[in-house]
Amino acid sequence: MSEKVKILVAGILDTKGKEIRFIADRIKASGGEPIILELSVGKEAGWADIPVSEVVEKVGSSTKKIFSMERAKASEIIVDGAIQIAREMLNRGELDGMIAMGGSMGSSMATRVMQTLPIGVPKVMLSTMTSGDVRPYVGTKDICMVYPIAEVGLNAVTRIVLNNAAGAVVGMARAPVLEKTAEKPLVGCMMFGVTTPAVLRVSKYFEDKGYDIMINHAVGSGGQSMEELITDGYIIGMLDITTHEIVDFMLGGVLSAGPDRLTAAGKRGIPQVVAPGGLDVINFTTPDSVPAHYKDELDIPGRVIKVHNPTVTVVGTSLDEAHDIAKHIAGKLNKAKGPTALCVPMKGWGAYDTAGKNPDLGWAEDSPAPTWISDPDRKEWSWRSQYFVKGLRESIDRSKKNLDVLIVDRHMNEAPFADLMAELLDEMLSGTWKKGSHHDLPEVSEL
Domain co-membership, 329 together with 381: yes
CATH number of 269's domain:
3.40.50.12030
Domain co-membership, 167 together with 191: no
Positions of E strands within 119-160: 123-127, 144-146
User: CA angle, 197 as apex, 343 and 416 as ends, to 5°?
Assistant: 50
Q: Which residues pair with 6 in a beta bridge?
A: 33
CATH number of 69's domain:
3.40.50.12020
Domain co-membership, 148 together with 195: no
Within a domain: 277: yes
Within a domain: 179: no
Domain co-membership, 213 together with 167: no
Report pLDDT digits (tens) over 88-113.
Answer: 999 999 999 999 999 888 999 999 99
| CB neighbour class for 309 (10 Å; exposed up to 12, middle 13-18, buried from 19) | exposed
Within a domain: 207: yes
Domain co-membership, 408 together with 374: yes
22/154 Cα distance (integer angstroms):
8
pLDDT at 195: 94
pLDDT at 1: 44
191/215 Cα distance (integer angstroms):
7
402/412 Cα distance (integer angstroms):
23
Domain co-membership, 223 together with 321: yes
Tell which of 124, 152, 173 closes a domain.
173
Domain co-membership, 221 together with 158: no
Domain co-membership, 287 together with 436: yes
Domain co-membership, 258 together with 146: no
> Strand 312-316 relative to strand 97-102: parallel, antiparallel, unpaired?
unpaired
Task: Give which of 273, 285, 296 is closest to 248, Cα–Cα.
Answer: 285
Question: How many domains is the chain partitioned into structurally?
Answer: 2
Domain co-membership, 169 together with 190: no
pLDDT at 154: 83
All residues at 6 or more sequence positions from 312 whose CB lies less than 8 Å from its CB, including other chains:
283, 284, 285
Report pLDDT digits (tens) over 260-272.
Answer: 999 999 999 999 9
Task: State yes or no: pLDDT of 2 exceeds 60.
Answer: no
Mean of all residue pLDDT scores within the chain: 93
Domain co-membership, 265 together with 299: yes
The whole-model pTM stands at 0.80
Within a domain: 180: no
Q: Which domain holds residue 132?
A: 6-173
Within a domain: 313: yes
pLDDT at 141: 87
Domain co-membership, 373 together with 326: yes
Report pLDDT digits (tens) over 387-406.
Answer: 999 999 999 999 999 999 99
